[in-house]
Amino acid sequence: MEIFTLGFMQRAIVVAICISIITPLIGNTIVLKRLSAIGDALSHAGLAGVAIGLCFGFNPVFTAILFSVISALIIEFIRTRFTNYSEIATAIVLSFAVGIAAVFSGFISNSASFNSFLFGSIVAISEQELIVVVMLAVIMLLTIVFLRRELFYIAFDEEGAELSGVKVKRINTLFTIITAVVVAIASRTVGALVISSLMVIPVACAMLVSGSYKQNIILSVIFALFFTIAGLIITSFYDLKPGGTIVLIGIATLIILLPFRRDD
């Protein structure tokens, strides 16, 4: 347990807790709107931002946030043009982001730095990044809590929500921006390639055992906290990649829970 006295591990744990609380909160809305692939598209957009940031000497976390937000707005725009085929938007942005990331990653001199964003790195979090992550997480959490009723209504019935006075377009855009920011900041710890899994798997586990929407939200946060904390502990002992370890714990939990699905 000596490892938890080390500064980098303490920072990693704090960041992991922040991410584990906000990621499934976003994931609930994304999964229920059947837009699970959006996390993939935005994390790849973040990766493109990282590649450009590292290439041109900017802070990669900020370029990742910038690229993810721009991509999120493009997705939202395309989604309104293909209302019945909204997954087209995520596929287009994902392909574009992979193209940019692939091209610019070839010009990065320090490939280890780029790899740390692909699969996450607990040693990569600086004091400055910790402060940014905690502040953003608090802002995102308050926004989601404030909009909880609107997000639930939109996830259930977008048309009905609009007719009841919910500002659906405005909230959808804001929510997509929040998703982009969370994906970008979380990619530092768990990795861009696995952050979307952290949005979906805890929610999927919760859906198997929850008895209500409220329970689903609480349980998905508990599952995400368990996956990330357990993942970080295992990582620190066996020198594994944190992102992959966290996701594998999540998948194992999902498999264990499958036979216990509630049918009432």
Query: Residue type at 264?
Result: D
Work out whether 8 is an interface residue with another protein (CB under 8 A). Answer: no
- In the complex, the smallest distance separating the C-beta of residue 239 from another protein, rounded to whole angstroms, is 38
Among 171, 213, 226, 257, binds another protein (CB under 8 A): 213
Instruction: Report the distance separating Cα 52 and Cα 59, nearest Å.
Output: 10
- In the complex, the smallest distance separating the C-beta of residue 201 from another protein, rounded to whole angstroms, is 15
Instruction: Report the distance separating Cα 130 and Cα 160, nearest Å.
Output: 40
Q: Which stretch binds another protein (CB under 8 A): 88-96, 117-125, 155-163, 225-233?
A: 155-163
Q: Which stretch binds another protein (CB under 8 A): 85-93, 180-188, 203-211, 251-259?
A: 203-211
End-to-end CA distance of the chain, in Å? 42
**Residue from 253, 217, 222, 248 nearest 234 by CA:** 248
Q: Which stretch binds another protein (CB under 8 A): 111-119, 144-152, 183-191, 228-236?
A: 144-152
Work out whether 178 is an interface residue with another protein (CB under 8 A). Answer: no
- In the complex, the smallest distance separating the C-beta of residue 138 from another protein, rounded to whole angstroms, is 17
Which CB atom, from 9 or from 154, has the smaller least distance to another protein? 154
Work out whether 82 is an interface residue with another protein (CB under 8 A). Answer: no
Q: Which stretch binds another protein (CB under 8 A): 86-94, 152-160, 189-197, 236-244?
A: 152-160
The answer for residues whose C-beta is within 8 angstroms of residue 258's C-beta and 6 or more apart is 208
Work out whether 146 is an interface residue with another protein (CB under 8 A). Answer: yes
What are the phi and psi torsion angles at 241 (to 5°)? -75, 125
Instruction: Report the distance separating Cα 106 and Cα 83, nearest Å.
Output: 36
| Neighbour count for residue 237 (Cβ, 10 Å) | 9
Half-sphere exposure of 198 (CA within 13 A, CB side): 37
Work out whether 2 is an interface residue with another protein (CB under 8 A). Answer: no
Which CB atom, from 207 or from 257, has the smaller least distance to another protein? 207
Number of residues that bind another protein (CB under 8 A): 30
> Are the CB atoms for 98 and 42 separated by under 8 Å?
no
Token pair 């699970």 in the structure block, residue: 36
Which residues here bind another protein, judged by CB under 8 A? 32, 145-150, 152-153, 156-157, 159-166, 206-207, 210-216, 263-264
